[in-house]
Amino acid sequence: MSNLLASVFERCAAENRAALVGYLTAGDPNIQTSELLILTLAEQVDIIEIGMPFSDPAADGPVIQAASERALQAGTKIHDVFTIAKKVREVKPDIGIVLMGYANVPYSIGFASFAEQAKESGVDGVLLVDVPAEESDICAAVFKQHDLSQIMLLAPTSTEQRIQLAANVGSGFIYYVSLAGITGAEMGAVQEIQDKLSLIRKYSKLPICVGFGVKTPEQAKSVAAFADGVVVGSHFVSHITLNTGDNAAMNGCLSASVKLMADAMGKG
C-alpha cells in the first residue's frame, strides 16, 4: 500500500476530520481546461480521484457518463490522464492521487505498462469499478509491485463474506458506495451507511471513504461524522455542464463549491 495515502488519512485524523476526496474526469470538457480544473480541485482536497474516460461507463449516472463522452470526444488518451496526474503531483506533493475507471483501459494497454506509467506520474492508487475481489488477480501482483494501492468498492449489497474478500484484497482505503445505484443518484440513508461502516470495520482496518450521491455540504458533514473520507464526484462535474463554454465561471464555481464542502467538513 502506498504510504502517502496512509499519511493523508493520519493527517486528517490528527486534525480530527474526515478526508475530502474530489473527483473529476480527465479531459472533460477538453484536455487543457480539464488540467486547469483538476489543479483547482487539487488545491482544496486531501485526495484527488482522476477519472479515466471510458466509452461504456456502465456504473456511472448521466453526469459522469456525459463527462466521459466529452473527454473522449475531445480526444483524451490515457497519456493525457498520466500527464494531468503528473502536473498535480508537481504542485501538490502531499495529497493522494487515485485513478478511477473501468478495467478495459488498463487491460488493453497492459496492466504492467499502465502501472509503471501511473507510478511514474505520482499516482498512489487505482480503483477499477468492474474489478471485484474475485477478479482482482488480473492486476493485483502488478499493482503491488509498483506500490499502487488497489482500492476496492463495497456496497449496501455486500455481504459479510464479500466484505472479507474485499478487505483481503484491497489497500489504501475502502470506497463505500452509499447506495445501491449509479454515481450521482440520491445518497443513501445516513444511519444505514453508518451501520454498514461499523460492519466493515469488523473486518478491515483500512480507512473508509463514502461516495455516490454526496451533493451538499450538509450531506458531506453528516457522513464525515463517522467516515474517514467523503467522496464528491458528480456534483463537482456538474459545474462543467452548468458553465459550458465559460472556463473562468467553471473554475470559479468549482473552486467555491469545493471550499463549501471543505468548510462543512472542518478542513482549515
Partner 1 sequence: MNKYDLEIKHAPDEGGHFGKFGGRFAAETLMQPLKEIEDAFFAAWADPEFHKERLDLLKNYVGRATPLYHAKQLTAEAGGAQIYLKREDLNHTGAHKINNTIGQALLARRMGKKKVIAETGAGQHGVATATVAAMFNMQCDIYMGREDIRRQAPNVFRMKLLGANVVPVDCGTATLKDAVNEALRVWVASCEDTYYIFGTAAGPHPFPLMVRQFHTVIGQEAREQCLAQAGKLPDVAVACVGGGSNAMGLLHPLQDDKSIRLVAVEAGGHGLDSGEHAASLAKGQPGIIHGSLSYVLADKEGQISANAHSISAGLDYPGVGPELAYMMDEGRLELDSATDDEALQAFQTLTKTEGIIPALESSHALAAGIRIAAGMDKEQVVLINLSGRGDKDLNTVMDKFGFDVDGSL
User: What is the set of active-site residues?
Assistant: 49, 60
* Closer residue to partner 1, CB minimum distance, 4 or 127: 127
Residue 107 sits in the site that holds partner 1 (CB under 8 A): yes
**Which cell numbers in the block locate residue 38?**
483538476
Residue 182 sits in the site that holds partner 1 (CB under 8 A): yes
- Tell me the residue type at 172: G
Neighbours of 62 (CB within 10 A): 13
Among 55, 113, 168, 244, binds partner 1 (CB under 8 A): 55
* Closer residue to partner 1, CB minimum distance, 35 or 130: 130
Q: Is the dihedral of CA 124, 128, 131, 135 positive or negative?
A: negative
Among 25, 34, 44, 65, binds partner 1 (CB under 8 A): 65
Task: Give the CA angle between residues 23, 24, 28 to the nearest 5°.
Answer: 170
CA gap 25, 236 in Å, rounded: 10
Contact flags string 126-165 toward partner 1, x per CB under 8 A: ---xxxx-xx----------------xxxxxxxx--x---
What is the phi/psi pair of residue 126, to 5°?
Answer: -135, 135
Residue 184 sits in the site that holds partner 1 (CB under 8 A): no
SS3 content of the chain, % helix, strand, coil (to 5): 50, 15, 35
Binding site for partner 1 (CB under 8 A): 54-62, 65, 69, 72, 77-78, 102-109, 129-132, 134-135, 152-159, 162, 166, 177, 179-182, 185
